[in-house]
Amino acid sequence: MRECFRAKIAHAGRVVIPAELRREYGFSEGEEVVLWPCADGIEILSPATALKRAQDRVRSYIPGDDIDLTDELLTARTSDESLR
């Protein structure tokens, strides 16, 4: 794969992702993508990649690897009367 690709912005802001990149990253026609703003521009991510990135970001604030956030949330919700 080449290191750099060029594309043009078309009518209504449409950008065509080159076929080589679509194949490499598994994007297919009609699939949703996530646009992630970054310091140098915009990243185009699959929903699974964006979710993993968000999970990793949240995980970085949790001390230790043995805490299950789902269990913590469920415990908090069941013990909080205002959430019932």
Segment 31-61, tens digit of pLDDT: 999 998 999 999 999 999 999 999 888 888 8
Task: Check pLDDT > 70 for residue 18.
Answer: yes
Give residue limits of the domains in the chain. 11-83
CA distance 51 to 46: 9
Kindly indicate the confidence band of residue 78, based on its pLDDT and cuts at 50, 70 and 90. confident
This model's pTM is above 0.95:
no
Paired tokens of 38: 């970054």
Task: Check pLDDT > 80 for residue 81.
Answer: no
